[in-house]
Amino acid sequence: MAQPQIENGHTKIANEILEHLMSVHLSPNQWQVLLCIIRKTYGFHKKVDYIANYQITVATNLGKTVVSRALHNLESRNMITRKGKYIGFQKDWESWAELAELPTLDVKLAEQSTPEKLAIRSPKLAILSTELAGLLTKVSSPVVAQKKKDTLTKDTLTKERYGEFDNVLLADVEYQKLQDRFGDRVKALIETLSQGIESKGYKYKSHYAAILTWERREQGGSHGKDREKGIPGNRPAGAFDDIES
């Protein structure tokens, strides 16, 4: 049974400091590191002392990375002072940064959840809150969803000109599909369509659909053998006539 006694050693700290420490929101790791610093300074009647990270890891059983991060956070909040390995506790509680506010019943939950409020307790939590709010807006807002759809449609269906006469209009995604399907023959197909449009003035709602429609019909015709031999230009006159818009 432990029986600690003041006579065996104690750390003198002003009640005013303890009262203000009560209102500070720190992570468990930060509390352990802060108590270790107070013990190794005030506990030996010193304001600062040479304290290596290794000493803190041994005293707190925390990892080196955790200790390093906790020291950085405490210093950024001006709760400790550091000059190299010389570390001290900052007793001027008025200079501590980002003191937490005590919650009251009349405080709205929405106000407590704003990035500004969350930043007091955790900068990372505030960032995550902002990112989550953005994601929810994108999911729930019809206006944002429509803008995203319009942008996608515009980017996807931007037409590029192909063929000898620059009159075959294909979106990048359409050209890629044709290339995946027909390989090197896609250039010959485009050229044939380009010549037909130029010589006969054909108009089509979709040049992509025109090429696919003719190919489907020709596969069952007499030119199937030529197609297998890689002869792209042998298609009947007016091949695209019946799909003119």
Dihedral angle, C-alpha 105, 111, 115, 118, nearest 10 °: 0
- Specify the pLDDT at position 217: 81
C-alpha–C-alpha distance, residues 233 and 215, integer Å: 12
pLDDT tens digit sequence for 10-48: 999 999 999 999 999 999 999 999 999 999 999 999 999
Taking residues 201-230, report their average pLDDT.
Answer: 71
What does the block give as tokens for 24?
């500070």
Task: Please state the domain extents for the chain.
Answer: 11-95, 109-141, 157-243
Q: 11-95 domain in CATH 3.30.70.890? A: no
Instruction: Calculate the average pLDDT of the chain.
Output: 77
pLDDT 10s digits, 73-123: 999 999 999 998 899 999 999 999 864 444 444 444 444 555 555 555 555
